[in-house]
């Protein structure tokens, strides 16, 4: 099904559905009802995390340019502090691994669907001299809940990845999260919502990899870990992730982000004990959609590498400097401390 969706996107088809139309309508109606039950689908306006991270590593080299694109999850909706957004967490991690400052720009828009990526990419590429080194795209949930045809969704994502890669930016896509774990969604609709999400995630993987990007499946964003521990990993609206939830997603994506920038050595060796393999891209996409945190990267067409990178805890967090409009002392009320403080941050539940 994922291959059919991707093929329809590539050749302009629009009739390929994820599942039967009546079933999709039922799922979407239940999702809309669920969103009303968890606070009208509203959440705090995401804080701006734009700015420079890792200022302690300033030196003769230019900062890495890092851009976030996508929907409310890319923007960090559901948390109230800049340092808790996925963009800030990933920028901090990149700065610590690269030992180099990272300039973060976030153009993601809450409520955006994949057809908004054209506008977002145009914003990113408006200045040819400031092409980002790496971009992260997190999109897909609103495509499902707003009944965007899957072929159109994948076509928009593929075009965005192609434009960014052509401009010289590396691209990592966090695929559609698992919508089957929103608490007010009950069986059998829970199963159907999960099926829709996973099929779209697999199709997104095929489209992105074929355009030169890498993908990381984000089922854990609203997936098994969230289902087991929803009170900690969902935010106040029970729809968007909490700070702990975003940290879980960021830890899943950080190794791929570092690998695509060459910040730690890549190996052609595939670890069989972690079920890594070289598979046809459609099969790799399908397997990745079933297991969150799985990376898919293109190899020799039509093959792709399926990797399960070990998750690494995020390093001590670095807030943007105050001159970028973000309070560098954000850690005073329980968040990560600013760079250079010598403190090591742990989530609140891990503190003595």
Q: Provide the pLDDT confidence category of residue 32 given band limits of 50, 70 and 90.
A: low
Residues of 73-87 as b/e, b for ≥16 C-beta within 10 angstroms? Answer: bbbbbbbbbbbbbbb
Give the model's pLDDT for residue 280.
84
Q: Which residue has the higher pLDDT, 58 or 160?
A: 160
Catalytically annotated residue among 103, 114, 178, 240: 240
Q: Which residue has the higher pLDDT, 88 or 128?
A: 88
pLDDT at 96 over 70: yes
pLDDT at 237 over 60: no
Catalytically annotated residue among 237, 277, 327, 341: 237
What percent of the chain has pLDDT above 90?
36
Collapsed DSSP state (helix, strand, coil) of residue 297: strand
Active site residue 72: yes
CB 285 within 8 A of CB 2: yes
Say how far apart CA 260 and CA 305 lie, in whole Å: 13
Q: Which residue has the higher pLDDT, 102 or 336?
A: 102
Give the model's pLDDT for residue 13.
60
Of 206-210, 238-242, 290-294, give the lowest mean pLDDT range.
238-242
φ/ψ region of 79 (left if φ > 0, alpha if ψ in -120 to 50, else beta) reads beta
Give the model's pLDDT for residue 131.
94
Give the model's pLDDT for residue 331.
35
Say how far apart CA 310 and CA 330 lie, in whole Å: 29
Say how far apart CA 172 and CA 253 lie, in whole Å: 8
Q: Provide the pLDDT confidence category of residue 257 given band limits of 50, 70 and 90.
A: very high
pLDDT at 21 over 80: no
Alpha helices by DSSP H, listed for the chain, are 2-10, 21-37, 72-75, 86-98, 117-124, 141-145, 150-167, 189-210, 224-228, 230-233, 243-260, 281-290
Provide CB contacts within 8 A for 144, sequence distance 6+. Answer: 27, 28, 31, 176, 179, 193, 196, 197, 200
CB 263 within 8 A of CB 94: yes
Give the model's pLDDT for residue 269.
67
CA nearest 28: which of 229, 155, 182, 206?
A: 182
Average pLDDT for the chain? 76
For the stretch 260-279, pLDDT in tens is 999 877 665 666 666 787 88
Catalytically annotated residue among 48, 71, 72, 197: 72
Q: Which residue has the higher pLDDT, 186 or 49?
A: 49
Give the model's pLDDT for residue 313.
47
Dihedral angle at the C-alpha atoms of 131, 132, 136, 141, nearest 10 degrees? -30
Give the model's pLDDT for residue 144.
83
Half-sphere exposure of 42 (CA within 13 A, CB side): 3
Active site residue 240: yes
Say how far apart CA 22 and CA 29 lie, in whole Å: 11
Collapsed DSSP state (helix, strand, coil) of residue 61: coil
For the stretch 279-307, pLDDT in tens is 888 888 888 887 777 888 887 777 888 88
* Tokens 């010289």 found at: 168
């Amino acid at each position: 099904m994922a291959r059919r969706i991707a093929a329809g996107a590539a050749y302009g088809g629009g009739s390929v559905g994820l599942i039967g139309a009546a079933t999709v309508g039922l799922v979407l109606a239940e999702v809309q009802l669920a969103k009303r039950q968890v606070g009208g689908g509203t959440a705090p306006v995401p804080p701006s995390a734009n700015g420079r991270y890792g200022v302690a590593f300033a030196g003769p080299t230019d900062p890495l340019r890092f851009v976030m694109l996508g929907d409310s999850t890319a923007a960090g909706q559901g948390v109230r502090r800049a340092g808790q957004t996925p963009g800030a967490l990933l920028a901090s991690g990149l700065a610590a691994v690269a030992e180099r400052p990272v300039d973060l720009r976030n153009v993601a828009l809450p409520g955006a669907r994949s057809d908004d990526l054209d506008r977002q990419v145009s914003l990113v590429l408006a200045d040819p001299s400031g092409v980002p080194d790496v971009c992260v795209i997190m999109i897909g949930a609103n495509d499902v809940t707003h009944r965007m045809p899957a072929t159109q969704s994948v076509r928009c994502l593929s075009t965005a990845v192609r434009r960014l890669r052509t401009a010289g930016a590396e691209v990592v896509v966090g695929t559609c999260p698992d919508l089957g774990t929103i608490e007010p969604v009950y069986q059998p609709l829970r199963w159907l919502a999960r099926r829709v999400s996973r099929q779209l995630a697999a199709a997104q993987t095929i489209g992105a990899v074929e355009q030169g990007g890498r993908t990381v499946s984000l089922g854990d964003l609203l997936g098994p870990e969230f289902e087991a521990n929803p009170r900690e990993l969902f935010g106040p609206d029970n729809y968007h992730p909490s700070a702990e939830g975003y940290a879980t997603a960021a830890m899943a994506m950080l190794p791929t982000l570092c690998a695509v920038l060459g910040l730690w050595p890549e190996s052609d060796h595939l670890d069989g004990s972690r079920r890594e393999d070289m598979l046809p891209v459609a099969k790799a996409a399908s397997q990745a959609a079933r297991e969150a945190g799985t990376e898919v990267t293109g190899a020799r067409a039509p093959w792709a590498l399926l990797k399960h990178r070990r998750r690494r805890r995020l390093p001590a967090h670095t807030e943007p400097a105050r001159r970028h409009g973000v309070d560098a002392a954000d850690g005073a009320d329980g968040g990560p401390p600013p760079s250079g403080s010598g403190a090591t941050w742990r989530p609140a539940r891990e503190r003595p």
